Amino acid sequence: MNLPLKKAATKLNELTACEIVAAIDGGRTTCEAVVRACLDHIQLREPAVQAWQYLDREQAIGQAIALDKSGKRGPLLGVPFGIKDIIDTSDMPTEYGSPIYKGNQPRNEAACVALGRKAGGVLMGKTVTTEFANRHPGKTKNPFDPARTPGGSSSGSAAAVGDCMVPLAIGTQTTGSTIRPASFCGAFGYRPTWGDLRLSGVREAAGSLDTLGLIARSVDDLALYRDVLLGVKPEPVPEHTGPLRVGFCRTHVWPQVEPYTQKLLEGAAQTLARAGMQVRDVELPADFERLLDAHLAISSFEFSRNFAYEIEHHWDKISATLRENRLKSGLECSFERYREARAFAAQCRRAFADVVKDFDVLLTASATGEAPVGLNTTGNANNCLIWTTLHVPTVTMPVFKGPHGLPVGAQIIGKADGDRALFAAARRIYQALA
């Protein structure tokens, strides 16, 4: 079932980032009014959702008042945003989802935080992350059903945007940590081409795979935020002209996808074809099935080395979930196996360029289906893992509802370094499906 077209927002906290900037520039509202509206909604909903690790109401209002008084203009003027709590902030604690770092206060702040503030954005606070952006869940609940996971590891960021607490939030992705929770929480999520956005001040999990992840309420907001974080003058998303060539890619993990999600995506492919797009099935090479094992070797090897200090000095404060899964796998992985996995991933990236040469984008699943019941896991990430390892940009869009009325996303895959073209195609596809 397709979600209905979004109704015109009547509350300031429901506006997209682009709408907020236009309203403030047009004198129809103020930075302070927008921030207060978001804070009021957070006060109402946070007891149920628990998206925030740190939030100081007066600090946020103070930022907004200062912006109004300054007369400053910028591409994110007055836009409230949240930051995943593995990202350093100079005036807010950064605890990495771990008791080891309770109360930790960095002296500096991450590049993505500084760029957001430079553009006129208002940093509202720190959103909940899983432990060290890995498998052990935090306190956040799904905003549509508190008995279900919001996904992870960018759980608080996705829940905050999905629940209209803020229009923008930054997460990260090493496996499926942005796309999957955005799908579960009914938001737009974007993982960029690997290496485009700077990770200075972001706690590294596995550098060969890590990226920032952006969560928003429209494709245009994702594009705007990307330009801000690139430090370039924002440009409108280009209009895609001519026939859009869409490859429907079931992938080798298709059997793990819920039958209702399979039907929703197959129906979407038919809808796009009726809308005049050129839709054809596309298969990944058979050996791409080995990407799951390659990703595990790369991510676990790098993660376990990055956290050598915590392993050596705070082993008892690391969750059993993390010790017995990611760290165990990483510590047991040889350098030879790690190097082999990196070489195989690079080989697949070269092969993928040939797979997609006759398509503009691919259409596939963002997650297996609706957010699963239970808060002790964050869901299956295999539908994201493939594209993360291939280093290509992806966008998830909230276009479906599952059998319980909960969001199910569709994931659009672009070509490496083709992020702006991906946005143009994703917006056109969203307009056809929404």
Looking at the annotation, which residues are catalytic?
84, 153, 177
Q: Which secondary structure element, helix H or strand E, spans residue 279, and what is its range? A: strand 278-281
Distance CA 254, CA 148 (A): 23
Q: Which of 433, 429, 409 is nearest to 183 (CA)?
A: 409
Q: Strand, coil or helix: what is 7?
A: coil
CB 179 within 8 A of CB 411: yes
CA distances from 24 to 71, 118, 157, 240, 310 (A): 11, 17, 24, 29, 45
Q: What angle do CA 301, 108, 97 make, to 5 degrees?
A: 45
User: Which residues, in sequence order, are bridge partners of residue 411?
Assistant: 364, 396
Here the tokens at position 378 are 């964050």
Q: Which of 100, 93, 88 is nearest to 54 (CA)?
A: 93
Write b or e for each residue in 340-379: b if 16 or more Cβ atoms lie within 10 A of its Cβ, otherwise e: ebbebbeebeeebeebbeebbbbbbbbbbbbbbeebeebb
Q: Is the peptide bond before 153 cis (omega within 30 degrees of 0)?
A: yes
Here the tokens at position 388 are 């993360």
Distance CA 102, CA 109 (A): 17
Q: Residue 48 — φ and ψ, nearest 5°?
A: -90, -35
User: Which residues, in sequence order, are bridge partners of residue 202?
Assistant: 87
Half-sphere exposure of 424 (CA within 13 A, CB side): 17
Distance CA 247, CA 238 (A): 21
Q: Which of 109, 209, 115, 212 is nearest to 154 (CA)?
A: 212
CB 3 within 8 A of CB 398: yes
